[in-house]
Copies of this chain bind each other. A is one copy, B any other.
Amino acid sequence: MGEQMTLPIQIEHSNCGECPIRHRAVCAHCERDELEALEEIKYYRSFEAGQTIIWSGDQMNFVGSVVSGIASLTQTMEDGRTQMVGLLLPSDFVGRPGRETAAYDVIATTDIVMCCFRKKPFEELMARTPHIAHRLLQMTLDELDAAREWMLVLGRKTAREKIASLLSIIARRDATLTRGRSSGPIVFDLPLTREAMADYLGLTLETVSRQMSALKKDGIIQLEGKRHVTIPDMGRLMEEAGDDTDGGFLV
């Protein structure tokens, strides 16, 4: 069975035409050609929050990456239980080279703009450019890591640890995107509803809410409104997450 995957494509946040993201290939000496080839097969799509971008089982005729907004990769059981299996943030890649159909639902969590490439030409480009294939392999390995790290979270962590893990991942990701590694308090807006957090963590939204309140009461996080989060001490949060590895943060 074919399916959906996310691979963070190596890109830079600088302009290429109307697109705020520059799709950068890996091989230094042929970068120019690749960029031009990508330009030719590129188009844009946008989706509103809540829209299902791709249904599990869909024929896929494009690959692409998220320009802005958040989407989730989700699996659903027939009785309605759902589990988010991946989070698509800006710069993440969508689509499985070589596979025909999607295996997961891709649901827009916020409004989304995607930069798409027609699948066939992209794959041909990939075949012509070994470095792209190699880069895709590396990205897929990263995804696999993230998935396996998440298996530990889902299988063995308590609700409180799960919340702390999610917060630290989002904070880390946010911190590396917006500034370099700094050591002050970290401030960001949660891009997920309580329900989406619950789907990601294998919890109910009530439990998520309770644990958020508890972390707030204990001073691990500060909450302003429902979404605005301040983390005064990243180290303490990671302790709460039960993380031995600091994930390369603040190294």
Interface residues of A (CB under 8 A from B): 1, 3, 5, 73, 75, 77-79, 81-83, 85-86, 96-99, 103-104, 127, 130, 133-134, 136-138, 140-141, 143-145, 147-152, 154-156, 201-202, 242, 244-245, 247-248
Contacts and interface: CB of A to CB of B under 8 A. Distances in A.
Contacts of A85: 148, 151-152
B103 A244 contact: no
Contacts of A103: 145, 148
Most buried by B among A82, A133, A151: A151
Nearest to A5: B144
Nearest to A98: B138
B1 A77 contact: no
A208 to B, nearest CB: 13
Contacts of A156: 77, 81-83, 202
B244 A77 contact: yes
A140 B133 contact: no
A133 B144 contact: no
A83 B141 contact: no
B147 A137 contact: no
Contacts of A245: 1
A189 B74 CA distance: 34
Contacts of A144: 5, 140, 143-144, 147
A195 B76 CA distance: 29
Contacts of A81: 156
10 contacts: A1-B245, A3-B141, A5-B141, A78-B244, A98-B134, A98-B137, A137-B137, A140-B144, A143-B144, A151-B151
Contact of A248 (B1, B96, B151): B1
Contacts of A244: 77-78
Contacts of A143: 144
A75 B202 contact: no
A30 to B, nearest CB: 15
Nearest to A128: B130
